[in-house]
Structure 1
Amino acid sequence: MRVLFVSIAWKTHIHPMVPLAWALRSAGHEVQVASEPECLDTITEAGLTAVSVGSDETVEERVRRIQGEDAAQGLIPPPFTADSLYDITDGDRDGLPWEHITWLYDTLVVPRTWILNDEMVDDLVRYCRSWRPDLVLCDALSYAGAVAADAVGAAHGRLMFWPDPSLRMRRDFLRAQERQPAGARPDRLRDWFAEWAGKYGRDFTEELVTGQFEVNVTPEDYRLEPHDRTLSLRYVPYHGRSVVPSWIHGASRAPRVLMTFGISSRQWALPGLPAVSVAQVQEILDSLADLDIELVLTLAGEAREQLHRVPENTRVVDFVPLDVIVPTCSAVIHHGGAGNFNGSLVHGVPQLVVDCAVDAPAKRIMLQQTRAGLSIAPDEITGPRIRECLTRLLEDDAFRAGAERLQQEALAQPTPSALVTDLERFTAEQRSRGAGGC
């Protein structure tokens, strides 16, 4: 069968797709990956066939052009507590009230949807009408892929590589909407999908928002709101072109700790986004300087030059492949990105998450429930606070035990190769329904 992966132009959204793309290709299927021009090198670097769709303008340029000084408005925390979106519970939960859920939709979901997708839709539909994929697998934010798949009658699903609140948010929205007076029930996300679907002679369905199915790497007990049809997948680390440094497998004189704040945070620094500054990194280094550890800090060259001091127990590098270094570590300090979180999880290493990622509350709750690590809020980032939490991770064996239990749950999920048969079966079922597009 022909399988088209679709991703927004964000390399850390493309990287997790690569192992599954190669599993499908190794099983004999035709595989292509569609994204905007700024990420074509990321795709071809992985040995995969790239399809260029959308604009030459980068996502950062587009956001700044459209939103100007308010470029990060759609990414800042809401003016209310939305933690119930991330509750992991077997019982009923109260959904967010209408005024809260509509704030999230109007401020975060809908603007992000059209900014990240509008430029891709026409090109994707045009290409799908030519290539005729059987299956379209979409990154969690790539709604353009669902529109294109529906337009040509292809099966389509969403790829979830982090605890994702979007399905729960949608269900909260629909429940709250039903309780509103007639004529006072705007659904801007539905309007976006309906406009694009109508352009290609299709009607809106909720499957456009949620996908016909979902592929999810989060261990089953910690998923926020499982899709009615969820396929579990083991997370397999992939970080792009990388080289194992010569020092990494030498004898470590002390427990090794990795501190990294991610590729994405270096790639796109917008005003208003929570991030760890160089000054804060310096304070953290100073606070950890007398600990008996081997601290490995990843920091881009321009930021590294702003450091005033590098303690003797610290090694500063621009980049190191996580799947190589994490297994050698006693703890990992990171910003909550999917690669750092999942990479630490599958290697059974305790982690300290600085809650800078959008889905950080879900990760915080998972770590609390499993005792696999600790989490601190961005406004708590101080050297002494990091030192306190790291010391707990290193000295309390319960954190290592919790991380190893969570690791076993993660590794029990099907590998990308094992998932291929399920994807083949589901695609055949959907295609047999005979629902074709234009």
Structure 2
Amino acid sequence: MRVLVVSAPLSGHVLPLLPLARALAGADHEILFATAADAASAVRKMDLPVEDIAPDFDFAAIARGVALRHPLTARAELAGSGGTKGVAALFGAINAKLADAVRAVTEQFDPDVVVAEPLAVAGPIAAAGHGVPAIRHETNLFDGAELAAAAAGPVLRRLAIDRLPDPAAVIQVLPPSVVGPRPGWPMRYVPPAPAPLPSWLTETPTLPRILVSRSTVAGPGNGNLMKALVAVAGSIEAEFVLVRPEPGLPPELPDNVRTIGWVSLDAVLPTCTGLVHHGGAGTVQAALAAGVPQLVVPGPGDRRHNAELVAEIGAGLCAPRSGPTAEHLQRLITDDELRRVSVRIQDELAARPSPDEIAARVATLAN
């Protein structure tokens, strides 16, 4: 069986697709990713085949163009209140740009099944044109059907298609206790990629360890999460580990603050008491899978929704956009209820079918 996997050209969009792709490849199915830019680089690092469908793709340029055409929507998106309007404007433009290339790859590769994340609607459209089933692989805390419908508008108009084709199946990666009841095949979260760690990060520290991560997408509205945290970290009895430190941090950091470059959060989280982050969907899921309470500083796009949802379900705290305070950090470390809820969700995720089991179900859809 040949499976084409389609993702928007951002690493945070393609990483959640890698576990299923690895399971399919491990079952001797032929896999090809269709994406570009950072997402294509992430796939190459996993030694999986990828077709770069937009070698000159420039996310920032597309985002600027969308902001100029839709200033009110762009303002709401930066505030995290754009909802699906921001998705429609930004990822609609991205899919319209990539649709022809995805269709060309589909015709050339001749897949039996197409798997696409919700914001890569060029995938199911190409699958329908080629006469093969498409699977929507959920990756987001927003409902994937709503996201896909919002992103499809521009490309549907451009191709004169009435509606987005219905998926043959939907893969759900989060339990009802997090996102409510959603139809589809439940699948267990597993780390997108194994990664070696320095020895000091593999050991459980004497003090509580708080991992601190930021967005992989550069741009306005991301704030100064790490700068705000460093300002109060010295007053907290904990070890703070900054992943990919922000530019502009003080040259002298508090004694209890350490830094590291790019590292797999999944590999480090088992030694951590808490995670402070920007609200990206993949980071939220990594913390839930590890049973680690979260302190989320909301940012643009879906990150405000994600931060508020984490707080609503009781698996973490939502900080103000100005950054975490000492009180937030102290509660992250000491609140047993946050950990209890996080561990309960971790158990729910661990009980779901594995990517290998879902790969077998995918094979049943092949013509």
Q: Same fold (TM over 0.5)?
A: yes
Question: Is the 1:257–1:331 Cα contact (8 Å) retained in structure 2?
Answer: yes
Q: Which whole-Å CA distance do the structure 1 matches of 2:154 and 2:268 have between them?
A: 46
Residue 252 of structure 2 is aligned with which of 286, 306, 309?
309
Whether 2:22 is the aligned partner of 1:22: answer: yes
Report SS of the residue matched to 1:237: coil
Residue 215 of structure 2 is aligned with which of 262, 265, 272?
262
What number of residue pairs does the alignment pair up?
Answer: 367
Q: Which whole-Å CA distance do the structure 2 matches of 1:388 and 1:34 have between them?
A: 45
Q: Which whole-Å CA distance do the structure 2 matches of 1:68 and 1:80 have between them?
A: 13
> How much does 1:243 deviate?
3.1
Q: Which whole-Å CA distance do the structure 2 matches of 1:130 and 1:314 have between them?
A: 51
Question: Is the 1:74–1:112 Cα contact (8 Å) retained in structure 2?
Answer: no
> How much does 1:257 deviate?
0.7
Corresponding residue for residue 350 of structure 2: 411
Q: Percent identity, aligned pairs only?
A: 25
Q: Which whole-Å CA distance do the structure 1 matches of 2:118 and 2:42 have between them?
A: 18
> How much does 1:68 deviate?
6.6
Corresponding residue for residue 204 of structure 1: 162
Question: Is the 1:245–1:320 Cα contact (8 Å) retained in structure 2?
Answer: no
1:106-132 CA-to-partner distances (Å, cap 9, x unmatched) read: x52332233211222112212222221
Whether 2:153 is the aligned partner of 1:154: answer: no
Question: Is the 2:93–2:154 Cα contact (8 Å) retained in structure 1?
Answer: no
Corresponding residue for residue 237 of structure 1: 191
Corresponding residue for residue 286 of structure 2: 343
Whether 2:236 is the aligned partner of 1:291: answer: yes
Coordinate RMSD, CA, aligned: 2.9
Q: Which whole-Å CA distance do the structure 2 matches of 1:399 and 1:393 have between them?
A: 8
Whether 2:185 is the aligned partner of 1:246: answer: no
Whether 2:301 is the aligned partner of 1:358: answer: yes
TM-score normalised by L of structure 2: 0.89
Closer, same or farther: CA 138–322 of 1 in aligned 2, 3 Å: same
> How much does 1:236 deviate?
1.3
Question: Is the 1:355–1:377 Cα contact (8 Å) retained in structure 2?
Answer: yes
Closer, same or farther: CA 251–164 of 1 in aligned 2, 3 Å: closer
Q: Which whole-Å CA distance do the structure 1 matches of 2:210 and 2:75 have between them?
A: 30
Whether 2:329 is the aligned partner of 1:375: answer: no
> How much does 1:239 deviate?
5.0
> How much does 1:45 deviate?
1.4
> How much does 1:358 deviate?
2.8
Closer, same or farther: CA 170–157 of 1 in aligned 2, 3 Å: closer
Q: Which whole-Å CA distance do the structure 1 matches of 2:38 and 2:304 have between them?
A: 30
Closer, same or farther: CA 80–334 of 1 in aligned 2, 3 Å: closer
Q: Which whole-Å CA distance do the structure 1 matches of 2:287 and 2:185 have between them?
A: 22
Closer, same or farther: CA 376–235 of 1 in aligned 2, 3 Å: same
Closer, same or farther: CA 217–75 of 1 in aligned 2, 3 Å: farther
Residue 276 of structure 1 is aligned with which of 223, 243, 249?
223
Whether 2:327 is the aligned partner of 1:388: answer: yes
Question: Is the 1:289–1:311 Cα contact (8 Å) retained in structure 2?
Answer: yes
Question: Is the 1:136–1:155 Cα contact (8 Å) retained in structure 2?
Answer: yes
> How much does 1:339 deviate?
2.5
Q: Which whole-Å CA distance do the structure 1 matches of 2:255 and 2:347 have between them?
A: 35
Q: Which whole-Å CA distance do the structure 2 matches of 1:260 and 1:288 have between them?
A: 15
> How much does 1:309 deviate?
3.2
1:52-84 CA-to-partner distances (Å, cap 9, x unmatched) read: 2135132223333x34767986554369997xx
Report SS of the residue matched to 2:76: coil
Question: Is the 2:212–2:226 Cα contact (8 Å) retained in structure 1?
Answer: no
Question: Is the 1:165–1:225 Cα contact (8 Å) retained in structure 2?
Answer: no
Report SS of the residue matched to 2:199: coil
Report SS of the residue matched to 2:205: coil
Question: Is the 1:137–1:157 Cα contact (8 Å) retained in structure 2?
Answer: yes
What runs of 5+ residues in structure 2 fail to find an aligned partner?
A: none
Q: Which whole-Å CA distance do the structure 1 matches of 2:231 and 2:120 have between them?
A: 41
Q: Which whole-Å CA distance do the structure 2 matches of 1:3 and 1:249 have between them?
A: 36
Give the counterpart letter for 2:133 in structure 1.
A
TM-score normalised by L of structure 1: 0.75
Question: Is the 1:237–1:339 Cα contact (8 Å) retained in structure 2?
Answer: no
Closer, same or farther: CA 112–286 of 1 in aligned 2, 3 Å: closer
Report SS of the residue matched to 1:292: coil
Corresponding residue for residue 47 of structure 1: 47
Closer, same or farther: CA 38–402 of 1 in aligned 2, 3 Å: closer
> How much does 1:189 deviate?
5.0
Report SS of the residue matched to 2:284: helix
Report SS of the residue matched to 2:12: helix
Question: Is the 2:119–2:148 Cα contact (8 Å) retained in structure 1?
Answer: no
